Amino acid sequence: MVRSAVGLRRFALPWSDLTAVALECLKARECLDVLIDAPLLTKCSFEETSGPVPPVLWVITHTSLREFSISGSSILRSLTLPHLRTLTLGAEATTDEVSLIERSAHSLREFTIPRCYTWDYEISIDWFWIATELRTGRLRDIPPP
């Protein structure tokens, strides 16, 4: 687990060879940079991401990623994960997650989403119809603040 309060680029890691990362306290841009710089990742966790989400100029397609967990600032509208098997979302789930799932649902087998008491909207479940491999769905309780 790496906590990046000083900026991720200061770490001289062999990004192109990494297959798993767990990172905390990243800016949204740093999350996208990791996914671009580490094409062999099969497992990735971003916790406590922050900062503005860069405008979507292109969608990043990451073909190796099988397990993905994210909480904090959403970068999901910028991603397509065609071989994703496991997706875990943090308490800040939004409609951006639905757009990622719609692009990646055909391979999704396990999905965990929080039930947050602060939600004032509903997330569409229309994507379930294309998630033909989905075997496990979990709804986690997030206690009220």
Residue 61's pLDDT is 93
Cβ atoms 137, 109 nearer than 8 A: no
The 10s digit of each residue's pLDDT in 18-74 is: 999 998 888 888 888 899 999 999 999 998 677 776 676 778 899 999 999 988 767
The structure's pTM equals 0.79
Confidence check: pLDDT of 115 > 80: no
Task: Give me the domain span that covers residue 71.
Answer: 2-7+14-142
Q: How many domains does the chain have?
A: 1
Alpha-carbon distance 59 to 5, whole Å? 26
Neighbour tally for 127: CB within 10 Å:
21
